[in-house]
Amino acid sequence: MKKYSILLTLFICYNLLGQNNQVIDPFNYSISKNDTFSKGSVASAHPLASLYGVKMMQEGGNAFDAAITSQLVLAVVYPAAGNIGGGGFMVAKTGNKFLALDYREKAPSKAFEQMYWDENGNPILEKSQKSALASGVPGTIAGIFETVQFTKLPFKQLIQPAIDVAENGFAITEREANSLNKLAVEFKKYNHHITAFQQKNNWQKGDTLIQKELANTLKRIRDFGLKGFYEGETADYIVKEMKKGNGIISKEDLKNYKAVWRKPLITNYKGYEIVGMPPPSSGGIIVAQLLKMVEDKNLDSKIFGSTESVQLMIEAERRAYADRAEHMGDPDFVKVPVETLISNSYLKERMKDYDSTKASLSKNINAGSIKESEETTHISIIDKEGNMVAITTTLNDSYGSKTVVAGAGFLLNNEMDDFSIKPGVPNMYGAVGGKANAIAPNKRMLSSMTPTLVLKNKKPFLVVGTPGGTTIPTSVFQSIVNIIDFNLSAFDAVNLPKFHHQWLPDEVFFEKDFNKKTISELAKMGYTIKYREAIGRVELLKINNNFIEAVADKRGDDSVAGY
Ligand code: GLY
């Protein structure tokens, strides 16, 4: 009897101290770049989002519970990209089933193809990128409520951390302080009220960011579910904001918004199962194309970062992005030839003119420049039951349209710029598109977001994804081959420098610390070289037998947590 009571006391202490009673202090937290865990883990763009997600797993939830909490906390602590005013995609595994959830924003019902052209037919980029007219109908909250069917804990419990942190505030990091200071002029220009993101003096590391209006919006969502966002008071605030900024999202647009289950894109690479997001994201197709284009070219016998391996990968990237521009758009509006685009025969044909001694040439039209930005954000999650969740979500640019909904306290996306606002005219990522991605009422804009799962022998192997606009699929591709072909550790696969080619502009972008010898040899072969800041912010979980290796990208405040 005595033995039993000691065991029971130990069990209760373990649960209280070690598992269920983890105290998270929003004013005192630290960044953890990599760690190993035995049960569950979250890697995300902010330590608080990772920690609160893991807390839900420790309180009896699974990866889907964690996904909801982490997303909502990110909307509070990482307003540049975490959001309730944007949209996203989730690729997940539950039991033996794969899921692909599309909660991408939609064009408002009053949208039309030439809505961002001036009277001479020239696109006005400020209109598609800034202010209320740049916003698509937000999808994030609809996506979250579709996910609820897989959760274990009450929704009220999942949303409470986000409410508390919005209401009571949290200490901002140096990076956040700098990014808010950088945006001060635009917040003033694109808002008719003082937002929570503005203060008299410059923001400093450690300052408290309190978002009372956002807390109240989250409470309405807690109390009224979908209707707390898409109808009633929140919808009133959104429509009022539209009127002030010449936006066109209506109450009906909000009420009619639906998240959509899509068929996950499953391909095979060297025996690994790759599970990706189908259109309206281009990400899953591009990663599948890239892997298949290099599959028979002995990448594993080449060296990471060498001229040989980089040149092959650039040529694959060039071809995949040319297909993106021509063939991809919202599958509910245009026929996307998915099966053909990822078929072995088609991709063999695409690489037929590949020459390992020189650069191919992209058609030299309408080249644009790639903007450096940390828009979009990714969360990778695994739980002790083997559920895997990869979510990429976005406002598009950093802080989206820069417009905060007065009264509701959240930023609206500027996702309309992801449409091809005029055929051949580059968007803010320098990507061009055609008819397939032209604006139409209620259509979803093409995305590059690439939440991805990789399985080995049917068992979880990688959960991976990243922000980075059009660089997203290439970062995911490079992270995967870094592990499978170049045998790099998970940490190096994420953190070693990356490169990017997207057909147009016909330039290869390198991170500044990339191997200089390779770069000068590629220049001699005819490649136009450009340097840029960070490519991606990858969150990667690698599952090795029974432990999880979690890595958060060095390029941001990204942080892992687990237990
Ligand atoms: N807004 C970035 C993307 O969806 O690709």
**Crossing angle, helix 232-244 and helix 212-224, to 10 degrees?**
140
Distance of alpha carbon 440 from the chain centroid: 24
Ligand 1 midpoint to CA 397 (Å):
8
DSSP E strands, 264-414: 265-269, 272-276, 377-382, 388-394
**Are 237 and 401 in contact, with CB atoms under 8 Å apart?**
no
Domain assignment present for 557? no
Ligand 1 midpoint to CA 282 (Å):
9
If you take atom 1 of ligand 1, which residue's CA is the nearest one? 396
Which two three-digit tokens encode residue 329? Answer: 């758009």
DSSP class of residue 560?
Answer: E
What integer pLDDT is reported at residue 365 of this predicted model?
25
What integer pLDDT is reported at residue 146 of this predicted model?
98
Ligand 1 midpoint to CA 3 (Å):
58
Same-domain check for residues 354 and 488: yes
Number of the ligand 1 atom closest to the C-alpha atom of 104: 4
Q: Is 448 in the pocket of ligand 1 (CB under 6 A)?
A: yes
**Crossing angle, helix 63-77 and helix 140-147, to 10 degrees?**
160
List strands edge to edge, sheet with 452-456: 34-37, 547-552, 539-544, 459-465, 452-456, 272-276, 265-269
Ligand 1 midpoint to CA 134 (Å):
14
Whole-Å CA distances, 310 to 475, 482, 487: 13, 12, 16
Ligand 1 midpoint to CA 149 (Å):
26
What does the alpha-carbon distance between residue 332 and residue 357 come to, in Å, rounded to a whole number? 42
Q: List helix spans (H) across 277-306.
A: 283-295
> Given ligand 1 and candidates 328, 370, 399, 418, which is best to mutate, with the most ligand atoms within 8 Å of its CB?
418
Number of the ligand 1 atom closest to the C-alpha atom of 392: 4
What integer pLDDT is reported at residue 8 of this predicted model?
45
If you take atom 3 of ligand 1, which residue's CA is the nearest one? 447
Same-domain check for residues 476 and 365: yes
**Are 165 and 105 in contact, with CB atoms under 8 Å apart?**
no
**Are 462 and 454 in contact, with CB atoms under 8 Å apart?**
yes
Ligand 1 midpoint to CA 429 (Å):
9
What does the alpha-carbon distance between residue 314 and residue 351 come to, in Å, rounded to a whole number? 12
Domain assignment present for 52? yes
Domain assignment present for 530? yes
Q: Is 146 in the pocket of ligand 1 (CB under 6 A)?
A: no
Same-domain check for residues 167 and 77: yes
Same-domain check for residues 243 and 325: no
Same-domain check for residues 111 and 193: yes
Which two three-digit tokens encode residue 452? Answer: 């991805």
Ligand 1 midpoint to CA 448 (Å):
5
What integer pLDDT is reported at residue 508 of this predicted model?
97
If you take atom 4 of ligand 1, which residue's CA is the nearest one? 447
Number of the ligand 1 atom closest to the C-alpha atom of 283: 5
Ligand 1 midpoint to CA 444 (Å):
11
The residue with tokens 């990822």 is: 342
Q: Give residue 465's domain range.
A: 262-373+455-544
Number of the ligand 1 atom closest to the C-alpha atom of 396: 1
The residue with tokens 């979690």 is: 550
Same-domain check for residues 171 and 104: yes
Same-domain check for residues 275 and 342: yes
Helix (H, G, I), strand (E, B) or coil at 334: coil
What does the alpha-carbon distance between residue 319 and residue 321 come to, in Å, rounded to a whole number? 6
Catalytic option among 173, 307, 376, 392: 376
Specify whether 376 is catalytic. Answer: yes
Q: State the Cα angle at 126 between 122 and 132, rounded to 5°.
A: 125
Domain assignment present for 302? yes
85 exposed, middle or buried (CB, 10 Å; 0-12, 13-18, 19+)?
Answer: buried
* Number of folded domains that form the chain: 2
Same-domain check for residues 492 and 513: yes
> Given ligand 1 and candidates 90, 105, 394, which is best to mutate, with the most ligand atoms within 8 Å of its CB?
394
Domain assignment present for 550? no
Return the HEC string of 30-86: CCCCEEEECCCEEEECCHHHHHHHHHHHHCCCCHHHHHHHHHHHHHHHCCCCCCCCC
What does the alpha-carbon distance between residue 432 and residue 325 come to, in Å, rounded to a whole number? 6
What integer pLDDT is reported at residue 23 of this predicted model?
92
Whole-Å CA distances, 291 to 286, 303, 361: 9, 17, 21
DSSP class of residue 308?
Answer: H
Domain assignment present for 240? yes
DSSP E strands, 395-538: 452-456, 459-465, 499-500, 508-511, 529-532
What integer pLDDT is reported at residue 125 of this predicted model?
87
Return the HEC string of 207-261: CEECCHHHHHHHHHHHHHCCHHHHCHHHHHHHHHHHHHCCCCCCHHHHHHCCCEE
Same-domain check for residues 82 and 222: yes
How do 265-269 and 170-171 pair as beta strands? unpaired
Task: Residue 288: give its domain's CATH number.
Answer: 1.10.246.130
Q: Is 449 in the pocket of ligand 1 (CB under 6 A)?
A: yes
Q: Is 437 in the pocket of ligand 1 (CB under 6 A)?
A: no
> Given ligand 1 and candidates 89, 285, 376, 476, which is best to mutate, with the most ligand atoms within 8 Å of its CB?
376
**Are 235 and 254 in contact, with CB atoms under 8 Å apart?**
yes
Same-domain check for residues 233 and 357: no
What integer pLDDT is reported at residue 21 of this predicted model?
56
Domain assignment present for 119? yes
What does the alpha-carbon distance between residue 359 and residue 362 come to, in Å, rounded to a whole number? 9
Same-domain check for residues 388 and 354: no
What integer pLDDT is reported at residue 364 of this predicted model?
36
What integer pLDDT is reported at residue 17 of this predicted model?
45
DSSP E strands, 476-521: 499-500, 508-511
Q: Is 396 in the pocket of ligand 1 (CB under 6 A)?
A: yes
pLDDT per residue as tens, the chain (563 positions): 444 454 444 444 444 444 455 699 999 999 999 999 999 999 999 999 999 999 999 999 999 999 999 999 999 999 999 999 999 999 999 999 999 999 999 999 999 999 999 999 988 989 999 989 999 999 999 999 999 999 999 999 999 999 999 999 999 999 999 999 999 999 999 999 999 999 999 999 999 999 999 999 999 999 999 999 999 999 999 999 999 999 999 999 999 999 999 999 999 999 999 999 999 999 999 999 999 999 999 999 999 999 999 999 999 999 999 999 888 999 999 999 999 999 999 999 999 989 999 888 875 323 223 344 557 999 999 999 999 999 999 999 999 999 999 999 999 999 999 999 888 777 777 777 778 999 999 999 999 999 999 999 999 999 999 999 999 999 999 999 999 999 999 999 999 999 999 998 899 999 999 999 999 999 999 999 999 999 999 999 999 988 999 999 999 999 999 99
Domain assignment present for 287? yes
Same-domain check for residues 64 and 170: yes
